[in-house]
Amino acid sequence: MSLEPVKVLMLRELLDDSHTTILFYVRRWSDLLFSEWREYVKQGSTLQFLEVLAHNLRNPVTSRIINIDRCLSVYAELFGRDSIKIVSYDEVLASGADVFEHFAGVFLSGLRLRLPERHRVNVSLTATQTELMRLFNLLGRESLVDSSRLLRFFYLQHPPAPLRDVLARLETFVTTIELSDYDPPVRCVLNDNRRRYDACVLPPVALDFFSEPRTLPVPFVRAEYALTPGFTEAVRRLWTALLDVEKPR
């Protein structure tokens, strides 16, 4: 969703006086933060997870991931707060419901569609896969090469042995950091979000925030792996070999 006031204003003018509902499925910030970092890397980012984490926790009020008002305030101003409807993504999943089925049931007059067997369409990379892809992005920037096509190797049922070897070496440096809804600055923002948009919330929803507060252990790869003998060379060889496989024949 666009956060630029001029674009939201254009949307408002295009819709004229039509009745408009702004639907926002809010996801637990700690899950969303890790998910967004992985997506950044898939799109070419070279930022480490801890850099993204520090950027958002430095001042949670300015974080659009923690503070949903950063996303919704411009819509509330231009469409009216009563046009906004908020659903807790996490509570929908916790209830055992499917997000699309919930959407259809609540917002499409109970429309029931025959859905295909449930499966993940956009499968997430692991912490080690994401970190290795980040390294590929760094090498790509050095050489002005687009490394994004190498993503497909991470989804192979039987990835190449050199790729498995490098991922296994990274795995030994995986640790976790706890992201807590109870952290005072974060809790303050979450409480303010709930008070500000309480009238917009649809069930199911937790009593306190938009989902049950918790502390979530999030995996990441410690940076010391870069100091292990031969690791950098192994990554460069792997990157070159995978690019060679991808060359047009």
Pairing of strands 84-88, 22-26: parallel
Residue 248: band (very low, low, confident or very high) from pLDDT cuts 50, 70, 90: low
pLDDT tens digits, one per residue of 142-180: 999 999 999 999 999 999 999 999 999 999 999 999 999
Nearest one of 91, 99, 53, 102 to 194, comparing CA atoms: 91
Q: Give 105: exposed, middle or buried? Use CB within 10 Å, 0-12, 13-18, 19+.
A: middle
What is residue 108's predicted lDDT score, i.e. its pLDDT? Answer: 80
Q: Which of 19-23, 105-109, 135-139 has the highest mean pLDDT?
A: 135-139
Cross-strand pairs, 201: 86
Tokens of 198: 């309480």
| Residue 111 reports pLDDT greater than 60 | yes
H-run or E-run covering 115 = none
What is residue 173's predicted lDDT score, i.e. its pLDDT? Answer: 97
- 206 CA to centre of own chain: 21
Residue 246: band (very low, low, confident or very high) from pLDDT cuts 50, 70, 90: confident
What is residue 16's predicted lDDT score, i.e. its pLDDT? Answer: 84
Reported as half-sphere exposure (CB side, CA atoms, 13 A), residue 204 has a value of 14
| Residue 11 reports pLDDT greater than 80 | yes
Cross-strand pairs, 85: 23
What is residue 139's predicted lDDT score, i.e. its pLDDT? Answer: 96
Range 50-75 average pLDDT:
95
* Residue percentage of the chain with pLDDT more than 70: 93
Find all residues with CB under 8 Å of 175, minimum gap 6, and list them: 219, 220, 221, 222
